[in-house]
Chains A and B, each alone.
Chain A
Amino acid sequence: MSKYAFFVGCTIPYRVPFIETSLRKTLPIFDVELVDLPFACCPDPGGVQAFDSVAWHTLGARNLCLAEEEGLDILTACSGCFESLKIINTHLKNDPDLKSKVNEHLKDVDREFKGTIKINHFAEFLYTEIGIDKIAQKVTNPLSGIKIASHNGCHFLKPTDIMQVDNPELPQKLDHLLEALGAETVPYLNKLACCGAGTRTTDMDAALKIAHEKIVGAELANADALVTVCPTCYVSYDIGQRLMTKHFEKTTLPVFFYAELLGLAIGLDFSAGFKMHTIKVQEVLDKLTA
């Protein structure tokens, strides 16, 4: 078992907790032990960074310190947390002035950023540390017969110079992760499009219109489902589709988080969580067992 500090974030536990279930059940199967620490908000790469950049770095550094003190690398499944923690970790490791400014603040809470850990996103971790072959070997219920539109989202990949996960203009790793489960991935219009969540606090209607483009693209490609690796994108599309009816015709495209499909393919029962999706997923599940 390899141990990681599990950075669960805010959105996963209190908005879409079934995503947390999918992570806590699947990762141990790949010999990953998740350790919970008293982390606070990452903090939010949109709101808090916009409010005050130094405060954003400082609050993020406190989270990094908790993991450093335990000698654990961080594993997160929220792309927003991944972005904040990875950018802050990288900036502080490379910018001595910023590091001393932040450490000056951290002294007030008896902590010090040292720069000794690595930040992992679970999807990137599965791809690079576990590997496609090992994942495919665990599959007992291949997801054959369904077409999937994969959504990488923004913060999993960008800013590219720091995230260094995949090509932001032609990402392929997520498709490979899905294909390892036996699913078919489809190319579709607006595959690279943002979910619009960053605009939600300013203008909900604009955010919903941005998110709707993705649903249109996936439906035109006859996708059975949309798959995300970010809980915020998940919320934009699953709960978002219900809100979009204010502006557009009703759509019912099922949305999954990657770890849910991983669990299904390796034979886990996530039925309690599937019932908590806003857009019903039964049709997809029926297709898989047909």
Chain B
Amino acid sequence: MTLTTELKEEFKDLYDKVKLCYQCGTCAGGCPVFKQYSSFNPRRVMEKLLAGDISAEIFDEQQIWYCTGCYTCSTRCPQGIDICHVINDMKNIAVKIKNAPPGIITEMTAILETGITAAKSTSALRKRDKLELPEIPPPDMTEIQKLMEVTGVIAKLNALKEDAK
């Protein structure tokens, strides 16, 4: 897959954010995911960005979606690179080129339909009753849906769902 001009611009922003990286590997050393699943290596992700790999291959791979978002790498990077946030930016680009795990689509759909991510299951509601907990005021769904529309979430979600077919 080739990147559009707009995405190439975003890619350049990413390069600027990581250009101070000297590949020491502190990020990988502290990464809780890398410890258990060595295919996800934040140092390698940085290496690819530094190499200026704009073939979109790094966004096509599922690897970046393994980042758990713990910010350990960002906390420890001796060059002060916010690696965790850079990977989040990469995920934003991955969504634009329609590469997102099914779990994300499910979650965004849940928010679009109910405003929240956790299902109000019968068993959950029964537990709330038993604990004599009050009803939580529901969010105004027209507002939530409007905001998801104007920020382009609905269009992106539809594109992903279409692609998944």
Contact = CB atoms under 8 A, between A and B. Distances in A.
B133 A105 contact: no
B144 interface: yes
Contacts, number: 189
Contact of A59 (B35, B101, B144): B144
Contact of A14 (B33, B65, B116): B116
B136 A36 contact: yes
A8 B68 contact: no
A194 interface: yes
Interface residues of B, number: 61
Given A14-B119, A48-B111, A55 B153 contact: yes
Interface stretch (A124-132, A136-144, A153-161, A255-263): A153-161
B136 A17 contact: no
Contacts of A15: 118, 124
B36 interface: yes
Contacts of B88: 49-50, 53
A267 B135 CA distance: 26
B37 A206 contact: yes
Contacts of A198: 67-70
A52 B153 contact: yes
A249 to B, nearest CB: 17
Contact of A44 (B107, B115, B134, B140): B107
A158 B118 contact: no
Prevailing SS type, chain B contact patch: helix
Interface residues of A, number: 62
Contacts of A210: 32-33, 35-36, 68
Given A47-B117, A206-B36, A210-B32, A158 B74 contact: yes
B3 to A, nearest CB: 18
User: Of residues A50, A160, A201, which shows the largest number of chain B Cβ atoms within 10 Å of its Cβ?
Assistant: A50
A202 B71 CA distance: 18
A55 B103 CA distance: 18
A134 interface: no
Interface of A: 8, 10-11, 13-15, 17-18, 20-21, 24, 36-41, 43-55, 58-59, 62, 105-106, 108-109, 154, 158-160, 168-169, 192-194, 196-203, 206-207, 209-210, 213, 272-273, 276
